Amino acid sequence: MTWKIELKEKPLQHTLVIRRRAAVGDLPKIIGECYMKIGKYLGELGESPTGAPFVAYHNLDMENLDLELGFPVGKPLPGKDDIVASEIPAGTFVTSLYKGPYSQMQDLYNDMMKWMAENGYEMAGAAYEYYLNSPAEVKDESEYLTIVELTVRKI
């Protein structure tokens, strides 16, 4: 498959997140729980997300992922319990829109890494996945829409 892979400069983005460690097989349960908890807390604050929910992958060890699960918000907000104020740093990102099952995203990641190598970039932080729709909204996995952004720097 051919992807449209682009380079973008992005400003700092405030977030509310829950940080977890988990195996990849536990993600569906953990993602749902964390998004529900943060969504409820945003409601208590009278605030709304400013964009799609995301997962930040701070490593790619599929048996022990270091994750931040959360939502972008318009301003710094206070945390509560295991919900913490965080941010996605300003910087350079390699980005692409993926359409299809989450279980088949590896090909996109491989192509993004190849693009980075060919264009003189390397990883410089987390990988982010923004979920534009969800299994609760779209029953056919082939219709899942995810933006993948990799934090990079010029070599």
Domain that holds residue 124: 6-154
Residue 137: phi and psi, rounded to 5, are -95, -35
Q: What's 117's domain CATH number?
A: 3.20.80.10
Task: Give the chain's residues under pLDDT 50.
Answer: none
Question: Counting Cβ atoms within 10 Å, is residue 105 exposed (0-12), middle (13-18) or buried (19+)?
Answer: middle
In a domain, 1, yes or no: no
Two tokens, residue 84: 């913490």
- pTM of the full structure: 0.94
Question: What is the pLDDT at residue 1?
Answer: 65
In a domain, 59, yes or no: yes
Q: What is the pLDDT of residues 116-150, one digit of tens each?
A: 999 999 999 999 999 999 888 898 999 999 999 99
> How many structural domains does the chain have?
1
In a domain, 69, yes or no: yes
Q: d(Cα 77, Cα 133) in Å, to the nearest integer?
A: 25
- Give me the residues paired with residue 151 across strands: 93
In a domain, 24, yes or no: yes
In a domain, 130, yes or no: yes
Exposure string (b/e) for 82-101, b if CB count within 10 Å is 16 or more? ebbbbebeebbbbbbebebe
